[in-house]
Structure 1
Amino acid sequence: MTEPFEPAPSLDSPEEKARYDRGAAVLNAVDGGSAPAVMEALADIAPDLAHHIVAFGFGDIYARAGLDPKQRQLVTLGILTALGGCEPQLEVHVRTSLNVGLTPTEIVEALTHAAGYCGFPKALNAIFTAKKVFAARGLLPVGGETRTD
């Protein structure tokens, strides 16, 4: 017989709530509103993962001093491109990059730069992911269309 999921340790401590609240504020400032959908999608199977994405990813890491949001997004774009297979997350971060003030030209340049380090296939996947976001925002050059095939 398969055992049900065991409850995880509580994330309701004041410290965890503070980390989560700090992360939620940072995430809301840069994300543009798609984060709640991700958190809701995890609520039924991995609510703790949703908590950690916000508390650790944004409350601890993204909120650090030392890099501004544009610099953080350039790093994130490069890493997701190099990893490959992260196109859904890359799509979110291309949108976030635009939200924090990176231009389509800067994003394309960062993804093109990555080709020298991680290869053309991964850079191409990243460029086509960015193109999809740019098309949705009306940011493609005149005459540019996103292929759907």
Structure 2
Amino acid sequence: MKMFGLKYLLWLVVLLGFTAQAGAQSITSESQSLTKKQQAIIPIAAFTASGDLDSLKGALHNGLDAGLTINETKEVMVHLYAYCGFPRSIRGLQTLMAVLDDRKAKGINDEWGAEASPIKDKRSKYDQGKEVLGELTGAPQDGPKTGYAAFSPEIEVFLKEHLFADIFERDVLSYSERELVTISVLSSIGGVEPMLRSHMRICLNVGLTPGQLQQFVNIIQASVGEKEAKAAQSVLDEVLRSVKSE
């Protein structure tokens, strides 16, 4: 058990607590509770982003046991490099390889799962990404560029063409699963509250509920820490107040 890491064990205790209370609290009712696979994605993304590889090993075992395929788990780490960089992503993938070797040695044969479907859209990647971002945000993307996009048009192009076209259009993970990865990373690295705010709103747009986002914060508290959870809770409260007033 030592190899799994203290944070992972604490998170597992909290997760078991969620399960035990599911019938008593609306926050974990069937319609409000994240699936086991969605719950497993959160610490995998958070530990990869923070570089806590000891705890990541335990989270990976749990995620594979919860039904994540190898390709889905790989995709979590491919997705998050856009938010925390290649070094963290590659170290996560290397840790996954070691975990899979360990499981195979124990006679556990994990399912590879589906590969990403070919993208047949013949439009430019920029136009594809613009459409995906519009779907995610529920807002048109044809207005004049402002803020960082006006200051650095290059990065706005990279975001549309690569993040929202190349990455988000890969159907190994759903939009809601990708957003769970994203807010897990942003909560883990900290100091990016405006981005976390935007992506929590996107979470609501792609079908996650306020109760599921509260459960997300609770898992962050157990797996990452009090400071990160407090910041995430503050952002979530702000987003929910804003949505309610609209």
The TM-score by the shorter chain falls in which range? 0.7 to 0.9
Q: TM-score, normalised by structure 2?
A: 0.47
CA 1:138–1:58 in structure 2 vs 1: closer, same or farther (change >3 Å)?
A: same
Equivalent-residue separation in structure 2 for 1:126 and 1:35 (angstroms): 27
Report the identity percentage: 29
Counterpart position of 2:31: none
Name which structure has the greater RCO, CA cutoff 8 Å, separation 6+: 2
Could you tell me the TM-score, scaled by structure 1's length? 0.75
What is the Cα deviation at residue 125 of structure 1? 0.4
* Match for residue 238 of structure 2 among 113, 128, 132: 132
Q: Is the 8 A contact 2:130 2:141 kept in 1?
A: no
Q: How much is the aligned-residue C-alpha RMSD, in angstroms? A: 2.1
Write the distance in 2 (CA, Å) between the matches of 1:126 and 1:79.
Answer: 11
8 Å CA contact retained: 1:26, 1:62:
yes
Uncovered stretches (5+) of structure 1, i.e. residues with no partner: 1-16, 140-149
Q: In 2, are the aligned partners of 1:78 and 1:111 still within 8 Å (CA)? A: no
Cα pair distance change 1:39/1:58, threshold 3 Å: farther
Paired with 1:133 and 1:115, the residues of 2 have a C-alpha distance of: 19
For structure 2, the 5+ residue unaligned runs are 1-122
Contact kept, 8 Å, 1:82 with 1:118, in 2: the verdict is yes
Following superposition, the deviation at residue 106 of structure 1 comes to: 0.5
1:112 to 206, 218, 221: 218
**Quick one: structure 1 residues 108 and 37, their matched pair in 2 at CA, closer, same or farther if it must change by over 3 Å?**
farther
Q: Distance in 1 between matches of 2:187 and 2:238?
A: 15
The structure whose residues are more often helix, as a share, is 2
Aligned length: 123
- The alpha-carbon distance between structure 1 residues 43 and 128, as it changes in their structure 2 partners (threshold 3 A), is closer
Give 1:121's aligned residue: 227
- Deviations 1:76-130 (CA, angstroms, capped at 9, x unpaired): 1111110111110000001000000100011111122012222111111011101
